């Protein structure tokens, strides 16, 4: 089998999924939703372990006290969330009774948050390290007291009905997990290692309040 990688730099996830359906791509990775699992064939192996279930909130600095007071989903529902138009986060937030403001371009979300179009932007733990540079000079910060959790596995997807390819990928992933090579690759990325440690090795006295949101509402 020959593998040919196609860069998705500048390509939104929705277009990648369309190319998969059209047969122009054989496999993509994506967050999973019930709709995507109906349209495409999922390889049910969570590529980012469980760290993708957790979100830190990107907020305006002047709103620190406002978020530090949040203790429940009902309090969170009084705020507006931001998200990319095709992010599965957007539907999860809507399922949980939040108003969601979306943008087609990720870069547009920062000025929209600064301008008060919405109140927070959920950020994956694996995104925090890389995002710090993008926040330089902005009146934004990663909130320090809350940690959201909602089901959102990252799977490989292949074209619907291509169960043979899906099974080959699943078997390869399970073998890599069994011999330790998958963990070695996972922890070789600083952002993923930092995300794992934020969840499973919290600093003493700095534990965040965990707020769980069900995927289905």
Q: What is the CATH number of the domain that holds 168?
A: 3.40.190.10
Strand partners, 120: 81
Q: How many domains does the chain have?
A: 2
What's the pLDDT at 27?
94
**What dihedral do alpha carbons 95, 101, 107, 110 form, nearest 10°?**
-110
What's the pLDDT at 205?
47
Same-domain status, 88 and 136: yes
Select from 64, 80, 79, 81 the least CA-distant residue to 142.
64
Q: What's the rounded Cα separation, in Å, for the pair 123 and 205? A: 23
Same-domain status, 58 and 143: yes
Answer yes or no: is 201 within a domain: no
What's the pLDDT at 81?
97
| Residue 91 C-beta-side C-alpha neighbours within 13 Å | 13
Same-domain status, 69 and 144: yes
Same-domain status, 144 and 158: no
Same-domain status, 163 and 129: no
What's the pLDDT at 216?
61
What's the pLDDT at 94?
93
Same-domain status, 109 and 60: yes
Same-domain status, 172 and 111: no
Query: What is the domain extent for residue 138?
Result: 51-151+207-212
Spans of the chain below 70 pLDDT? 1-11, 201-206, 216-217
Same-domain status, 56 and 74: yes
Same-domain status, 66 and 146: yes
161: exposed, middle or buried (C-beta count within 10 Å: 0-12, 13-18, 19+)? exposed
Answer yes or no: is 115 within a domain: yes
Same-domain status, 56 and 129: yes
Same-domain status, 141 and 167: no
Same-domain status, 140 and 106: yes
What's the pLDDT at 105?
87
């Amino acid at each position: 089998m020959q593998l040919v990688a196609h860069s998705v730099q500048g390509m939104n996830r929705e277009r990648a999924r369309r190319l998969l359906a059209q047969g122009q791509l054989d496999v993509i990775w994506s967050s999973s939703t019930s709709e995507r699992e109906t349209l495409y064939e999922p390889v049910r192996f969570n590529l980012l372990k469980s760290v993708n279930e957790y979100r830190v909130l990107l907020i305006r600095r002047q709103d620190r006290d406002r978020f530090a007071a949040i203790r429940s989903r009902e309090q969170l529902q009084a705020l507006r969330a931001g998200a990319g138009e095709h992010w599965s986060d957007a539907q999860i937030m809507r399922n949980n009774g939040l108003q969601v403001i979306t943008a087609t371009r990720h870069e547009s979300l920062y000025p929209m948050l600064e301008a008060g179009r919405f109140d927070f932007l959920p950020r994956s733990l694996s995104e925090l390290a890389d995002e710090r540079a993008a926040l330089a000079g902005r009146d934004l910060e990663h909130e320090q007291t809350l940690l959201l959790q909602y089901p959102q596995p990252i799977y490989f997807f292949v074209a619907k009905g291509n169960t043979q390819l899906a099974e080959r990928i699943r078997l390869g992933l399970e073998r890599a997990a069994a011999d330790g090579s998958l963990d070695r690759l996972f922890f070789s990325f600083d952002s993923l290692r930092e995300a794992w440690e934020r969840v499973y090795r919290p600093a003493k006295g700095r534990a965040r309040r965990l707020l769980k949101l069900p995927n289905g509402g």
